[in-house]
Amino acid sequence: MKTYESLHETLSFYGINCHQPYYISSGNPIFNFPKTPFRIDFYALCICTAGNITVEIDNREYHISKNGLLISAPSTILKFLNIGKEFRMKLLFFEKNFLLKNISNPFFLERLGLFNQASFNVITSDDQHSDKLSKLLEYLHLTTKRKGRFTEDIIRTIIFNLLLEVAEIALVDKDNTIQEQDDNNCLFFKFSQLAQQEAFKHKDVKYYAEKLFVSNKYLINIVKRASGKTPHQIIDECLLKETYILLANPELTISDIAYDAGFNSVSAFGRFFKKYASISPSEYRKQQHV
């Protein structure tokens, strides 16, 4: 599995030379898509402007058609399954550090509640909202060509506006805007981010509760309320995502991966992987032609 760790590396796949911490696509047809699963380590917003596409996101299949939106956070794993002939999209990539420069609240993005699946969200929109987002992207694209003292700050402001518009579209229950639920969502995303970073080393819920200065019981309740899952399930999902990436590396043996992932035996790793993926690690490798 390929890991695109920077905008430059990702865009170079398409022959695009970009050294900025953000990128806005032209909306022109794309004829070359990666054939294997890949992980991106930056934020992405995709608007389908025509046709349709079927993608696998964190091992789940989604069909996105005209006016559909995909917004994803770092560490999301994508795989293109089927691209319609008429498919067109507009893309925005940006790095979190660029967006949050000079912002006092580092959890601004988490508080927006953009990601109903911990690291991504697929949203059905309409012509009116899609047109509004497309115009904002066009304005953003024009702004990036300017060279002024405050150009970068203007770019950040437009991206903020885009994200707020997407958050409005995604918002189903207006009661989620009350402060208590905002705080709970913030804690859930802190936990999710920590689990993505630490799942290989720490699988005990107590570790995460102590790092977040809450009790085990409180963390369990918040995570369950926000995602319908237990903290242990979230930790296992993060661990599974990373093992997918390692299994795609032919230079690593399954034994290497098992111990790197913190399992005390290959059989323990095999039981864990089969529990969630329904196949063994070696069978997964065969499916991916590794």
Domains, the chain:
2-172 (2.60.120.280), 177-287 (1.10.10.60)
- Res 1: pLDDT: 47
Residues with Cβ within 8 Å of residue 17, at least 6 apart in sequence: 11
The residues that bridge with 54 in the sheet, in sequence order, are 63, 82
Confidence at residue 117, expressed as pLDDT on a 0 to 100 scale: 66
Q: Which two tokens stand for residue 224?
A: 């369950």
Q: Residue 184 to residues 111, 219, 224: CA-CA distances in angstroms? A: 9, 9, 11
- Residue-wise pLDDT for 198-233, tens only, equals 888 899 999 999 998 889 888 998 888 777 788 998
Helices (H), 107-253: 108-111, 127-143, 151-170, 179-198, 205-211, 216-227, 231-247
Tokens 């993005």 label which residue? 109
Are 279 and 271 in contact, with CB atoms under 8 Å apart?
no
Instruction: Name the residue with tokens 């063994």.
Output: 280
What's the pLDDT score for residue 26? 67
CA-closest candidate to residue 195, choices 217, 176, 219, 215 = 219
Mean pLDDT of 84-106: 82
Give pLDDT, residue 180: 43
Per-residue pLDDT at 8: 57
Query: Do 187 and 143 form a contact (C-beta atoms < 8 A)?
Result: no
More confident: 41 or 265 = 265
Report whether pLDDT(178) > 60: no
Mean pLDDT for the chain? 82
The arithmetic mean of pLDDT across residues 82-103, rounded, is 85
How large is the C-alpha radius of gyration of the chain?
A: 20
User: pLDDT band at 96, cuts 50/70/90?
Assistant: confident
Mean pLDDT in residue range 260-268:
90
Cβ-proximal residues to 73 (8 Å cutoff; 6+ apart), any chain: 43, 109, 115, 119, 120
pLDDT (average), residues 144-161: 92
Cα gap 18→116, rounded to integer Å: 30
| Model pLDDT for residues 3-49, shown as the tens digit of each residue | 444 555 666 655 665 677 888 886 666 667 777 777 777 889 999 99
Q: Is the pLDDT of residue 112 over 50?
A: yes
CA distances from 63 to 17, 54, 56, 79 (A): 30, 4, 9, 12
Provide the 10 A C-beta neighbour count for residue 19.
8
Which pLDDT belongs to residue 208? 93
- Name the one residue in this structure whose structure tokens are 């032209």: 26
Rounded Cα distance, 169 and 114, in Å = 10
Structural contact between residues 87 and 53, judged by C-beta atoms closer than 8 angstroms:
yes
Q: Are the beta carbons of 4 and 16 closer than 8 angstroms?
A: no
Measured from the Cβ of residue 256, the count of other Cβ atoms closer than 10 Å reads 13
Q: Tens digit of pLDDT for each residue in 269-279?
A: 999 998 888 88
Q: How far apart are CA 70 and CA 76, in angstroms?
A: 11
Q: Band of the pLDDT at 159, cuts 50, 70, 90?
A: very high
179-198 vs 216-227: helix crossing angle, rounded to 10: 100
Q: Give CA 177 to chain center in angstroms.
A: 22
Q: In what order do the strands lie in the sheet with 88-94?
A: 22-24, 88-94, 43-50, 68-72, 120-124
Cα dihedral 211, 212, 215, 219 sign: negative
